[in-house]
Amino acid sequence: MSTNNLIEEHLHSSAHMAKKHIHPKLMKMMELGGMASVFERGEGAYLYDMKGERYLDFLSGGGVHFVGRNHPKVIQAMQDVLSANYPNLAIINASILGGIAAEKLKELMDFPDSKVVFANSGSEATEVALRFARYVTRRRRYLYLDGAFHGRTWGAISVNGWAAMKEGMEPMLPTCTPLPPNDLGALRRELARGDVAGIIMEPVQGMTLIPLDPGYMREAARLCKEHGTLLIADEVQTGFGRCGEWFLSRSYGIKPDIITTSKTISGGHMPVSAVVVSEETYNRVYDKFTSGPFYFSTFAENNLAMAATVATIEALKDIDAPARAQVISQRIRDGVMKLAEKHDVIDRVIGKGLMIGIIFKESEQLALKVQQRVLKVAEPTFFGAAVNVDMYTKQKVIVQVPGPGLNAIKILPPAVTSDADADYFVQALDNTLTSFYKTGPAMALGQSAVKDTIKTVKEALPGIGKKNS
């Protein structure tokens, strides 16, 4: 059977099959929220379901589709590679397009005195960075920031700044010390101990949407040099123009020892990450004649991955992605802040560029406030989750809930978002919130999710819902 026939036959059952064989828990959660659509087509900023219904996709596959879904340049590059019968992975990692991809990435980063280590995911890039830092410094301790997210592998969760991910996983890498973001005093104190291999930080945290102050990052870079610690900038999510600059750390005038990148890099088609390492650090890692295999990964520079990377970089340059991100970001932020004048549940808009968080608060309107208070007992971030579901099911706009504890929605709109798309998003949020003032947010969630929530509320507040005897 051809792949096309296989897809045709199984498309309608793909959610069911994924639930059965891959993600039973995750798919159940999506079902509870009425969010288990099967999408048939993706193009630019849109997804289309099997009924032909269009969704504005501001989740962008977790940020990988920043260049727009199925960008023609990226598709063409991959088709070219496949149709030419090139020898893929012929001699260990001497791939045809790897060097070109690295050269283009270094240019984009304005980081000429560097080398690129390709890998397959953001988490793997984190592992590479942690490994290099230990080897170069021969120190054991890492610093990371509260609220940070650097991936889901062992080393990466050791430097993740939220406890839930570490539950049942101790002992982590010895020794990892959390610091509050933007706190120079704490950073100075820890670095002065002289035992820190590396500090890892996201210029804008993906989970909390907290941007680091440029001044904080600059001083961190200076202090790291002073104390022989490696600065690792995790630009897996912020990179490639999403935050209004090609790479935030470089735009602040910093030269981190290591920059990790992924997500946007390959147009959403191939699993690719790149660890860009300063020449000086690289030479300290690959310090012997026999150091060649110190780090490489079997599939890392495969032809499809590298072709997609080269084409994605070109496509992002064609549209001047950072400039476009700034324009769209401003339009969305202005639109949402205008909405805040009529919807008092909007507290503030955070993040940077096209990493945007919209934080909600309690309304002054009594009926809504009561629902918010009761449901908050079951889940403090309930309101954000309800907005997420309503926007998906009723407005056909895909957003996400950010990290734990934030009563908010998060969006990662692609660079190909048009002005009309930005306005459409603002209107959709307006529609959702307007409906919540009328009927309350509980209605947004599927019946079983509401039942589950009410059960939790009853357990937390015994007596609630009982008739007076």
Ligand X SMILES: Cc1ncc(COP(=O)(O)O)c(C=O)c1O
Residues lying near ligand X in the complex (CB under 6 A) are found at: 62, 121-123, 126, 149-151, 202, 206, 234, 236-237, 262
Q: Which is nearer to ligand X, 128 or 310 (CB)?
A: 128
CB of 114 to ligand X, least distance (A): 19
Our CB check for ligand X shows the closer of 121 and 395 to be: 121
3-state secondary structure the chain: CCHHHHHHHHHHHHHHHHHHHCCHHHHHHHHHCCCCCCEEEEEECEEEECCCCEEEECCHHHHCCCCCECCHHHHHHHHHHHHCCCCCCCCCCCCCCHHHHHHHHHHHHCCCCEEEEEECCHHHHHHHHHHHHHHHHCCCEEEEECCCCCCCCHHHHHCCCCHHHHCCCCCCCCCEEEECCCCHHHHHHHHCCCCEEEEEECCECCCCCCECCHHHHHHHHHHHHHHCCEEEEECCCCCCCCCCCCCHHHHCCCCCCEEEECHHHHCCCCCCEEEEEEHHHHHHHCCCHHHHHHCCCCCCCCHHHHHHHHHHHHHHHHCCHHHHHHHHHHHHHHHHHHHHCCCCCEEEEEEECCEEEEEECCCCCHHHHHHHHHHHHHCCCHHHHHHHHHHHHCCCEECECCCCCCCEEEECCCCCCCHHHHHHHHHHHHHHHHHHHHHCHHHHCCHHHHHHHHHHHHHHCCCCCCCCC
Of 98 and 402, the one with the shorter C-beta distance to ligand X is 402
Angle at 55 between CA 54 and CA 58, to 5 degrees: 150
Q: How far is the CB of 123 from ligand X (least distance, A)?
A: 3
Smallest separation (angstroms) from ligand X to the CB of 96 = 24
Minimum distance, C-beta of residue 118 to ligand X, in the bound complex (Å): 13
CA neighbor of 425 nearest in space, from 453, 396, 390, 447: 396
User: Between 33 and 151, whose beta carbon lies closer to ligand X?
Assistant: 151
CB 463 to ligand X: min, Å = 42
Nearer Cβ to ligand X, position 158 or 395?
158
Distances from the Cα of 46 to the Cα of 37, 54, 71, 83, 321, angstroms: 14, 7, 12, 28, 18
For the bound state, the minimum distance from the C-beta of residue 161 to ligand X, rounded and expressed in Å, comes to 11
Q: Which is nearer to ligand X, 237 or 388 (CB)?
A: 237
Closest to ligand X by CB, 151 or 384: 151
Residue nearest ligand X, CB atom distance: 122
CB of 66 to ligand X, least distance (A): 13
Q: Which CB atom, from 231 or from 426, has the smaller least distance to ligand X?
A: 231
CB of 263 to ligand X, least distance (A): 7
Q: Which residues contact 76 (CB under 8 A, 6 or more apart)?
A: 311
Q: Which is nearer to ligand X, 121 or 309 (CB)?
A: 121
- Least separation, in Å, of the C-beta of 385 and ligand X? 19
Q: How far is the CB of 204 from ligand X (least distance, A)?
A: 9
238 vs 371, which CB is nearer to ligand X? 238
Question: 153 or 435, CB closer to ligand X?
Answer: 153
Residue 255 CB, nearest approach to ligand X (Å): 20
Which residues are CB-contacts of 166 (< 8 A; sequence separation ≥ 6)?
A: 157, 158, 160, 172
